[in-house]
Structure 1
């Protein structure tokens, strides 16, 4: 049990680092190109893992499912996050992302036709109030928030919520590794197409540290975090694992303050705490 919990914590920690790298890479690469490079590397690694198991990715047979999941979970979610991180702090982005469990909650009865308990809806309302408070504090600290950046992160959370719910639906007919690899492949294609006509050579400003960040988001924040999370879920169970996703905004705040020296306003801290509290109530 302790090993499983440790793996869940490790996964959220690695995902928290993705926000820090996204903030650092904002001036180095356009969001669409960064996402393309990141997931192209991840796709090769995931496909290699499947190949080692003597398996294959049903690229054409499951194209519709892969295309939908790739658009939502790889292209939209990641690109919107990187766009948002160009104008808001990593700490703030992480706290807004506390709304991801609420997005999952909202889409569950629509897609899966499952009943949601009243306690979960109460948690959703509390979390939404927290996000509203976050928006109120957007101008309280330098480079902390912008309306466009906040909106991009909210849309990213909604995309991930729908991706997660659809993934549960499609996961009944394929294993999670194959599903992730297929979504990664199609998401990379969407990202590459979005670069056409929008990316110019003069927009690329790579440094040695920027390359390190690209390698981090392509391996540790993608493949390793995915493996750790799924291994942890398998050990402790999905129900007990769900609340641990709420550690993500905590890590982003800690990393943002310690590594990027970000300043957080009191209103933002209050809003983030309320959003996280609501998410915990909704997932317990």
Structure 2
């Protein structure tokens, strides 16, 4: 399989997760049940393959448990649960376009948490992407913007994006002595455990009411959107590098919106196109153009 396919597949799997997540919540299955069962399935699949690694790294886990707890809370629990909650009252199109600003949110978060400085080029990109997000949230309506009216689902998606951004920035502090499979399995187990009380307290769906189609969707989420995506993504990074891998995540809106139009009958409005143009322009300026200018500057 070509090297780029290892990066293309995870984006496709994650795009399918958005569409299936929207379809599942539309059928009345609550987000707490979806997220908990998805990660329970992922843990059941990965644990037989990774338990030896976890046992061998138990002392590392015990030493770094506060950090692992934070990663689990941000990346496994918050991001996924908030995403599904958001999809109960917003469209897949809005969700993926708002998530498209994650790379820019990461730049801001890295500056706040790690003291990383941003250039004027990056700041320009951040500004454009922010305007694009506002365009989507306001539905292109000045009246909506002035009265601060926005979908509750959009707010949940934004909080989910912030959680993922903080997770992505802090991942640099991942215990280096832990294997990737050990780290992923440990955080998946902890994240699922965090969600367990939320599932029992707020989950309204009866497990016995889930259809074969529902279980098939959850299996996809656990197997492909979680495990396969993680493994392929890391293989792709090893083959092509993190810088190249980061650019593939920008295909998420393209794949997700295409799937939502095909399978959910969603339609694009003018504010979607405007917001998309601004977000992608901002991302291009803050990442690719900034990197190009920095390379030229270093070569002088």
TM-score (norm 1): 0.90
Deviation at 1:4, TM superposition (A): 2.4
Alpha-carbon RMSD? 2.3
- Higher mean displacement: 85-94 or 73-82: 85-94
Residue 154 (structure 1) aligned with residue 158 (structure 2)? yes
Matched, 1:135 2:134: no
Q: Which has the larger radius of gyration?
A: 2
1:20-35 equivalences in 2 (<5 Å): 20-26=19-25, 27-35=27-35
Q: Which has the higher helix share?
A: 2
Deviation at 1:53, TM superposition (A): 6.1
Superposition pairs of residues 1-284 of structure 1, within 5 angstroms: 3-26=2-25, 27-51=27-51, 56=56, 58=58, 59-137=61-139, 147-201=151-205, 205-284=209-288
How far 1:148 moved relative to its partner? 0.3
Contact conserved, 2:90 with 2:151, CA < 8 A, in 1? no
Q: Which segments of 5 or more consecutive residues in structure 2 lack a partner in the other structure?
A: 142-148, 289-300
Match of 2:291 in 1: none
Question: What's the CA shift string for 1:2-54, capped at 9, x where partnerless?
Answer: 82222111111111111011101103421112111111121233333324768
Residue pair 2:33, 2:205 contacting (<8 A) in 1 also: no
**Structure 1 residue 217, shift from structure 2 partner:** 0.6
Does the residue aligned with 2:234 lie in a helix, a strand or coil?
helix
Could you report, residue by residue, the CA deviation over 1:152-188 in whole angstroms, capped at 9, with x for unpaired residues? 0000000000011111222534333222222111110
- Closer, same or farther in 2 for the Cα pair 1:278/1:171, shift >3 Å? farther
Secondary structure in structure 2 of the residue aligned to 1:82: helix
53 and 196 in structure 1: CA distance in 2 versus 1, 3 angstrom threshold: closer
Aligned residues: 278
- Check whether the contact 2:38–2:218 (CA below 8 A) recurs between aligned residues: yes
CA contact (8 A) 1:243 1:280 kept: no
Give unmatched runs, 5+ long, in structure 1: 140-144
